[in-house]
Structure 1
């Protein structure tokens, strides 16, 4: 029986959706849990040492494949084994994370998908939705490599498009209540990147922003489901499905280094109609026409 270890960094809607998409694709392609595959799911609860312990345990028990969800779990898994195939998802930049030589070929035992979404097109949409916005706040965990990568890209694109950027750095969930209320002063919109700490704190972030009448623009749909205004980014369930197809190729004998690390091909726009109404924001009809709508009546 094939044994797959799942090393997920933290519980939140986006990463859970990736895992579901991955498992759904395996099942659809004849990999049935309890019949011909064993799934060993572990969650690090946001703790890097725990992610490493999980990875080491999977290595010691000689799993046939490790599915690592989020940058920290991918790094932990790669640190634990250079032999067992590792299929990753929700990793913004695997090269910067030190687990791959390039997207085209990792040169290692790693393949999978990235959740990187270009910032430029997101700002194009932000301008259409919030034409008066001049100052963007970005909340992110300063210790997450994936978030630093996105913020660096945001700095470049924001300057290019004439925005002022205000960084709101946090290191844990408790920081949100401590630093965000004052940081919301003087910004027109708050950008939430694909960040594990931010995703775990969507409810409080959006509540605080809404109190100040500041819309939240999200890099992925889970934030909009939680009350953010709009996302122009990822559907993590579909990303998980794409990752599952890559895992099947590995299980059928392909080397991870022979399979490029892919990015989601069709980013989606998601709009929360209730949030738009509550904030008095009219979403342009051309944006709505291509969007998935949540909330509303």
Structure 2
């Protein structure tokens, strides 16, 4: 057991589950809440306007480390212009989000775990096309508060696949989903990719229900499995947050962020929701079912 009590600030843009996984990882590295570590948590539940204030809270509290879940969260922590070490997870493109130097190396006081996979967006589209071979028009639904990194990658993948894609952005904390889905209807959208963004995760069940009501097969991030979308695909946000704990432990031991290379975590899983398939009247090919790590009946 460590004899020093560390104070760690945790900020998350979305919900609480990744925070719990981070704390679990910290316990595995000998940092036990109530014994040798104190956590100060701030969770925005999709309201990214709160993040700058949360980062300033951590500076005022004088924490030893800031753990940021999500790129928009890490950017808010960096904008606080503090020398406090920052560790992050659930970041797609650290350099693109200005969370690493252009070569991809850590910044002076910031390192973390990225889930970047340059084939991810193409894999999403391929999955939807396997289920709906006539798919030609899709919508990309995203959180307007986050950077364009994920949007751009998804739009590029759609264009390379010869598809027409529209970029539909919503704003938290209460996104205007009515207008967003009206735009999809007007454009003739045939399927929806709900990007892995904070406000999308918080409102996943509502988004999935609207998609079903418009007969749209919807693909969500893995963490939204079970909320009603047909497919959930990607690397677990919880696993990324759990992996972040190792770097957090090293920073608290006195290691410098620049000594800890940014780690890439790629372990995508697929969850198939047959309840949604039945409501959509779709037959899911055996190949897709066989690739699913879990099938919700």
- TM-score with structure 2 setting the length: 0.89
Q: What's the offset of the Cα at 1:199?
A: 1.6
- In 2: Cα distance, 1:286 partner to 1:225 partner: 21
Match of 1:205 among 188, 204, 207: 207
Q: What's the offset of the Cα at 1:290?
A: 2.8
For the structure 1 residues 105 and 182, does the alpha-carbon distance in structure 2 shift closer, same or farther, using more than 3 Å as the test? Answer: closer
Give the match's secondary structure for 1:88. Answer: strand
1:99 aligns with 2:103: no
- In 2: Cα distance, 1:231 partner to 1:281 partner: 16
Which 5+ residue runs of structure 1 have no aligned equivalent?
none
Q: What's the offset of the Cα at 1:195?
A: 1.3
- In 1: Cα distance, 2:161 partner to 2:287 partner: 21
Q: What's the offset of the Cα at 1:254?
A: 2.2
Give the match's secondary structure for 2:205. Answer: helix
Poorly superposed stretches of 4+, deviation over 6 Å: none
Q: What's the offset of the Cα at 1:150?
A: 1.6
Give the match's secondary structure for 2:223. Answer: helix
For the structure 1 residues 100 and 31, does the alpha-carbon distance in structure 2 shift closer, same or farther, using more than 3 Å as the test? Answer: same
Give the match's secondary structure for 2:225. Answer: helix
1:113 alignment partner in structure 2: 113
Give the match's secondary structure for 1:225. Answer: coil
1:86 alignment partner in structure 2: 86
- In 2: Cα distance, 1:223 partner to 1:184 partner: 23
- TM-score with structure 1 setting the length: 0.89
2:240 alignment partner in structure 1: 239
1:69 alignment partner in structure 2: 69
Q: Which moved more, 1:280-289 or 1:232-241?
A: 280-289
- In 1: Cα distance, 2:17 partner to 2:196 partner: 14
Size of the aligned set, in residue pairs, is 289
RMSD of aligned alpha carbons: 2.0
Q: What's the offset of the Cα at 1:292?
A: 2.3
Cα-to-partner distance string for 1:134-163 (whole Å, 9 max, x where unaligned): 111111133321xx2222112221121111
- In 2: Cα distance, 1:46 partner to 1:269 partner: 24
- In 2: Cα distance, 1:51 partner to 1:194 partner: 18
Which 5+ residue runs of structure 2 have no aligned equivalent?
none
